[in-house]
């Protein structure tokens, strides 16, 4: 639905279109967009699945045809397959503010949460600390895994809203599992403050970084995070089902006791001995044979981060989400959608979530018109903003189409 030329609404859109053009012209990251496979769709679902980096298809083709097809078993050594989990972990490390040797790639986010949480309780090694606190607003899998970890370690699971976590901590707390960014509303939780509070209570902090790594600074080393996990298929663009990663702070690695001691984490994996002796450092977080095809696709995808400052990513993320909220205010009829994402920058991740009564149907209409986000039942529209490839022109178009759909 177009507005007549000269109407107030047309004039307002002209201003926003012009602003988008100027913002794109001054964007430090604008050249990165060319490193992705994109079309004329406005893709705002990178918080679920990142776009395909252009370097990946050729790399995967080479892995399949040459490394697997020709070298075969020799590729474990000659192509570096065996060391991929730590090598790729070291490439992810700067994106979460970690020094080398503390991140290992492999398994799923769920499996790594289980490893991290059970290991955290074992690191505390105090039977009087019989509670595990978990973010009550967490992604469901985190809660399921935490409940199982609590049963396995003889602890009681205590769900707590992130805003109440500090006051819930006490002498019975062994560990706390918290999401850095709320997956529904996009709220950014206070990682430095909550980590310090957990430590003051004598417990360990485990963070889920799925919705923050690659979108904003995390600085796990600087803030004393004990263990952290994250996926790689969202803002890191590793592809569907790409392997997750596990961060274990260097000071904890010697005592890190994984509940899944597979042969890949053995100090002498090819010794095939009956007794388990854990490897030193990050490899201790490995379990079984690495999923090489998806792991090496991820490694190629990480090339898009060459030369990128995470501070620039955060600055653009905030500018994109600010501009989207401005477009929503300008284009969407009053009362049709309400932002549930914090307006304050320190409390916002890299997404905007809108409460809308008919969210599922609205998202279907948006996708049909080339604006791709997603929804969470019953009434949340989610829009993720990946700074490496989302433009301000994309944002303006998304806001305008949303306004037209909600005006129909």
Clarify whether 382 is annotated catalytic. yes
Residue 1 binned pLDDT confidence (cut-offs 50, 70, 90): very low
Largest Cα–Cα distance of the chain, in whole Å? 80
Polymer length in residues for the chain: 408
Cα–Cα distance for residue pair 363/346, rounded to 1 Å: 28
Instruction: Please check the confidence at residue 161 and state whether its pLDDT lies above 90.
Output: yes
What is the structure's pLDDT at 7? 59
Q: Which helix (H) or strand (E) holds 147?
A: helix 140-153
Write the CB contacts of 213 (distance below 8 Å, at least 6 apart in sequence): 92, 95, 96, 230, 235, 236
pLDDT of residue 10: 79
Domains of the chain in start order, with CATH, are 8-35+308-407 (3.90.1150.10), 57-305 (3.40.640.10)
Beta-carbon contacts of residue 23 (< 8 Å; ≥ 6 apart): 319, 323, 392
Residues 355-398: pLDDT tens digits? Answer: 999 999 999 999 999 999 999 999 999 999 999 999 999 999 99
227, 229, 167, 228: which is closest to 197 by C-alpha? Answer: 167
Based on the residue annotation, tell me whether 234 is a catalytic residue of this protein: yes
Q: Which of 36, 233, 247, 385 is catalytic?
A: 233
Task: Give residue-wise pLDDT tens across range 9-20.
Answer: 778 899 999 999
Distance CA 20, CA 363 (A): 23
Q: What is the pLDDT of residue 373?
A: 98
Nearest Cα neighbor of 105 from 287, 304, 279, 300 is 287
Select which of 45, 182, 208, 291 is catalytic: 208
Q: Is the pLDDT of residue 288 over 90?
A: yes
The Cα–Cα gap between 192 and 110 comes to: 23
3-class state of residue 332 by DSSP: coil
Span 220-249, pLDDT tens digits: 999 999 999 999 999 999 999 999 999 999
Q: Which neighbouring-strand residues pair with 227?
A: 206, 248
For residue 4, the model assigns a pLDDT of 60
Q: Compute CA distances 80 → 74, 290, 369, whole Å.
A: 9, 12, 44
Sorting pLDDT into bands at 50, 70 and 90, what band is 95? very high
The predicted pLDDT at position 9 comes to 76
In Å, how far from its chain's centre is CA 148?
23
Kindly tell me if the per-residue pLDDT of 3 is higher than 90: no
Segment 52-66 mean pLDDT = 98
Catalytic: which of 139, 256, 389, 392? 139
The question of whether 139 is a catalytic residue gets the answer: yes
| Mean pLDDT to the nearest integer, 110-137 | 98
Assign residue 107 a region: left if phi > 0, alpha if psi is -120 to 50, beta otherwise? Answer: left
pLDDT of residue 44 exceeding 70: yes
Task: Kindly report, residue by residue over 295-328, the tens digit of the pLDDT.
Answer: 999 999 999 999 999 999 999 999 999 999 999 9
- Residue 233 bears catalytic tag: yes
Cα torsion for 309, 315, 321, 322, to the nearest 10°? -170
Closest CA to 129 of 158, 161, 170, 166: 170
The single residue of 13, 32, 129, 234 carrying the catalytic annotation is 234
Catalytic residue among 32, 348, 382, 397: 382
Q: What's 100's DSSP letter?
A: T
Q: What is the pLDDT of residues 341-352, one digit of tens each?
A: 999 999 999 999
pTM: 0.96
3-state secondary structure of 232: coil
Average predicted confidence (pLDDT) for the chain: 97
3-state secondary structure 346-358: HHECCEEEEECCC
CA 23, CA 321: separation in Å to the nearest integer? 13
Task: Render 44-55 in DSSP notation, one character per residue.
Answer: --TTTSPPPBTT
């Amino acid at each position: 639905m177009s507005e007549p030329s000269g109407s107030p609404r047309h004039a307002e859109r002209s201003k926003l279109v012009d602003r988008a053009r100027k913002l794109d012209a001054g964007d430090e990251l604008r050249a990165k967009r060319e490193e992705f496979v994109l079309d004329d769709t406005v893709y705002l679902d990178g918080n679920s699945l990142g776009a395909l980096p252009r370097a990946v298809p050729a790399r995967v083709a080479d892995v399949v045809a040459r490394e697997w097809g020709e070298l075969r078993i020799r590729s474990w050594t000659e192509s570096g397959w065996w060391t991929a989990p730590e090598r790729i972990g070291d490439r992810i490390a700067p994106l979460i503010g970690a020094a080398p040797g503390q991140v290992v790639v492999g398994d799923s986010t769920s499996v790594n949460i289980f490893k991290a949480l059970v290991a955290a309780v074992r690191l505390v090694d105090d039977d009087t600390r019989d509670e595990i606190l978990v973010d009550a607003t967490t992604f469901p899998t985190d809660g399921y895994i935490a409940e199982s970890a609590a049963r396995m370690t003889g602890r009681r699971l205590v769900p707590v809203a992130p805003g109440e976590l500090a006051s819930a901590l006490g002498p019975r707390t062994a560990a706390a599992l918290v999401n850095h960014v709320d997956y529904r509303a996009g709220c950014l939780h206070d990682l430095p403050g909550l980590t310090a509070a957990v430590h003051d209570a004598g417990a360990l902090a485990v963070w889920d970084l799925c919705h923050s790594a690659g979108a904003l600074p995390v600085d796990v080393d600087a803030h004393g995070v004990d263990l952290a996990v994250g996926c790689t298929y969202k803002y890191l663009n590793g592809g569907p089902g790409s392997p997750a990663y596990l961060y274990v702070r260097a000071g904890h690695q010697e005592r890190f006791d994984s509940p899944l001691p597979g042969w890949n984490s053995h100090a002498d994996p090819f010794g095939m001995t009956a007794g388990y002796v854990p490897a030193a450092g990050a490899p201790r977080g490995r379990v079984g044979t690495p999923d090489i095809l998806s792991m090496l696709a991820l490694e190629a995808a990480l090339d898009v981060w060459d030369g990128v400052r995470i501070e620039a990513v955060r600055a653009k993320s905030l500018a994109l989400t600010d501009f989207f909220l401005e477009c929503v205010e300008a284009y969407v009829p009053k009362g049709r959608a309400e932002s549930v994402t914090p307006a304050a920058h320190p409390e916002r991740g890299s997404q905007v979530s809108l409460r809308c009564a008919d969210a599922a149907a609205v998202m279907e209409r948006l996708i049909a018109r080339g604006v791709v986000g997603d929804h969470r039942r019953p009434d949340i529209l989610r829009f993720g903003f990946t700074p490496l490839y989302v433009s301000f022109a994309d944002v303006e178009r998304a806001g305008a189409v949303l306004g037209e759909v909600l005006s129909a």
